[in-house]
Amino acid sequence: MPIATVNPATGETLQTFDALDAAGIERRVAAADAAFRDYRTTSFDRRAALLRRAADLLEQDQEDIARTMTTEMGKPITAARAEAAKCVKAMRWYAANAERLLADEHPPQDQVRDAGAVHARVHYRPLGPVLAVMPWNFPLWQVVRFAAPALMAGNTGLLKHASNVPRTALYLEDLFRRAGYPEGVFQTLLIGSGAVEGILRDPRVAAATLTGSEPAGRSVASIAGDEIKKTVLELGGSDPYVVMPSADVDRAADVAVTARVQNNGQSCIAAKRFIVHTDVYDAFAERFTAGMAALTVGDPMDESTDVGPLASEQGRDGLEELVDEAVRGGAAVLCGGRRPEGRERGWYYAPTVLAGITPAMRIHQEETFGPVATLYRAADLDEAVRLANDTYFGLSSNVWTRDEEDVRRFVRDLEAGGVYVNGMTASHPALPFGGVKRSGYGRELSGHGIKEFCNATTVWQAA
């Protein structure tokens, strides 16, 4: 894939970029390694001051970077502004909390004595340069949620961003440079996916984090495993959205629309499979379908647009194939199911609701990365749990119920990294984020995320 900015609303290539050659990659890896030797010894106060400055600059740049993101991957401009604001919030949160999260841990003194020591503690140290392989769907947030904790822990960062968001990638390097970070602490690598293996195998690169597709995760994990290097993977999701009889069905249906089409439906944590108890299925389906059908599809720069284009022609065509295959297999189209009229240019797809999904259909297992929802009818709680878990993925989940016994069962039995009750999944810097099964492993955000790229060092001292 060429490294280029292509406007998905028009299909027009706006700018192409040359990939770094081997010498350029070597210079940047060497710079990250050299910078780490000094940066790792800086104080938390110094790191926090730098990160706060980056947050201030990003806040000032909000409109410009929002327009860049919308131009490169098609999210509505209102969502792009919100993404930038979320990054500012996360930066400030880590600047305020990193020192506390990485404070030395002291076991009880009787356990210290039992270990034969006078003093013992756990001390957290940074690992070194971390390679971040990041996706296009949240081109600012995905990077910041890695970079803010990693840099606050004392690591340096090497960003390999998706090839269709190079302007955003270069902006991020410039942002940290303007904030005053030393040379080499955070760098963007304009490279294709074929160059990742060589960088990951470089002994100066300590670890890697990847957010992206399952095949990309398998590739990075296998290389890192061969090199015995730490990885964090956040891969696909096919999140269930379960509605039980005691739920506020109208509220659940309204939130379901947002949960499905956030970021034009191109979000790993977007609700995708809507599993509704038979007692409330008809009421939910009617309101949810009406809400999806009423969405405004259009120019993502227009303030009134709810759903913009998909990020690539390949993505739109792949989604279309999933829907068409399901329809040929007997699925019912409650709304959408086609490219919207009047949108011949660009990679648009109408908000779609499908019912009558069977396990034989690809859409039952494969992730739908776009504004397409699948509806399932569940006879009882046991069937709802079974349907929810009937996927290779396990990123997050949504449950709507006022019954505490329902909540207990879902929290116990759902195979996912999160259970959101009476609300939609959303990431927050204070809460760990990640999944199980083929959604990956490790956690981002919170104290769990900042410790992923730290060496938990046992310090044992005798008299």
- Catalytic annotation, residues: 234, 268
Joined tokens for residue 165: 């968001």
336, 350 contact by CB (below 8 A): yes
363, 314 contact by CB (below 8 A): no
Nearest to 391 by CA among 275, 300, 225: 275
Dihedral of alpha carbons 408, 409, 412, 414, sign:
negative
| CA separation for the pair 397, 400 (Å, rounded) | 10
At residue 206, the pLDDT reads 98
DSSP for 100-165 reads HHT--B---HHHHHHTT-SEEEEEEEE-SEEEEE--SSSTTHHHHHHHHHHHHTT-EEEEE--TT-
CA atoms within 13 A on the CB side of 377: 10
Residue with tokens 């919100």: 82
Q: Are strands 4-7 and 12-16 parallel, antiparallel or unpaired?
A: antiparallel
What does each C-alpha distance from 58 to 54, 75, 140, 145, 193 come to in angstroms? 6, 18, 10, 14, 28
Answer whether 0.75 is exceeded by the pTM: yes
Residue 441 β-bridge partners? 233
What does each C-alpha distance from 458 to 42, 122, 176 come to in angstroms? 21, 5, 32
What does each C-alpha distance from 254 to 194, 251, 395 come to in angstroms? 43, 5, 22
Q: Is 119 left (phi over 0), alpha (psi -120 to 50) or beta?
A: beta
Contact partners, residue 245, CB within 8 Å, separation at least 6: 277, 279, 280
| CA separation for the pair 403, 280 (Å, rounded) | 15
CA atoms within 13 A on the CB side of 56: 10
Joined tokens for residue 177: 């440079």
* Per-position pLDDT tens, the chain of length 463: 799 999 999 999 999 999 999 999 999 999 999 999 999 999 999 999 999 999 999 999 999 999 999 999 999 999 999 999 999 999 999 999 999 999 999 999 999 999 999 999 999 999 999 999 999 999 999 999 999 999 999 999 999 999 999 999 999 999 999 999 999 999 999 999 999 999 999 999 999 999 999 999 999 999 999 999 999 999 999 999 999 999 999 999 999 999 999 999 999 999 999 999 999 999 999 999 999 999 999 999 999 999 999 999 999 999 999 999 999 999 999 999 999 998 889 999 999 999 999 999 999 999 999 999 999 999 999 999 999 999 999 999 999 999 999 999 999 999 999 999 999 999 999 999 999 999 999 999 999 999 999 999 999 999 9
DSSP for 164-176 reads T-HHHHHHHHHHH
Residue with tokens 């050299």: 34
